[in-house]
Structure 1
């Protein structure tokens, strides 16, 4: 096994013992109730058009709701 540099040893993104960077359920996000971001809105709009579900886009979604809808539409649009 290759020796880790100090930077690698301290990087939580590559530390298998650190669970803080694991993918979390959007319902568990501390900021999930905030309005969706501009990037989420843009991607959701694009995916709703690709999936031929224009009603899937809604300006009033929060971050968690937008994330869940994006995941669902990604699968439907073939972006697994």
Structure 2
């Protein structure tokens, strides 16, 4: 017998496009900056100057790019 009242199973975190974030235009967070610096170093890039002025949304996109480049993340 199937329980029709149960919530659907979520297989991973829900993802929303950073461009759609309500706080996406706010300055990036400290943890985002730290992680970006780590990823940039692992990717052989100098990210110090590139990080100044990034928004939360832009930092998230940069993290995704660097994760793909370094093989980290999803």
TM class by smaller structure = 0.7 to 0.9
The CA deviation at 1:55 is 3.5
Unaligned runs of 5+ in 1: 4-8, 10-14
Displaced runs of 4+ in structure 1, greater than 6 A? none
Which residue in 1 is equivalent to 2:71?
78
Which of 20, 23, 33 matches 1:28? 20
- How many residues align? The count is 66
Unaligned runs of 5+ in 2: none
TM-score by length of 1: 0.70
1:16-45, CA deviations, whole angstroms, 9 ceiling, x for partnerless residues? Answer: 39xxx7210000000000000000000000
Q: CA RMSD in A?
A: 2.4
- Are the aligned partners of 2:37 and 2:47 in contact in 1 as well (CA < 8 Å)? no
Alpha-carbon distance in structure 2 between the residues aligned to 1:55 and 1:41:
10
TM-score by length of 2: 0.75
The CA deviation at 1:59 is 2.1
User: Is structure 2 residue 30 aligned with structure 1 residue 38?
Assistant: yes
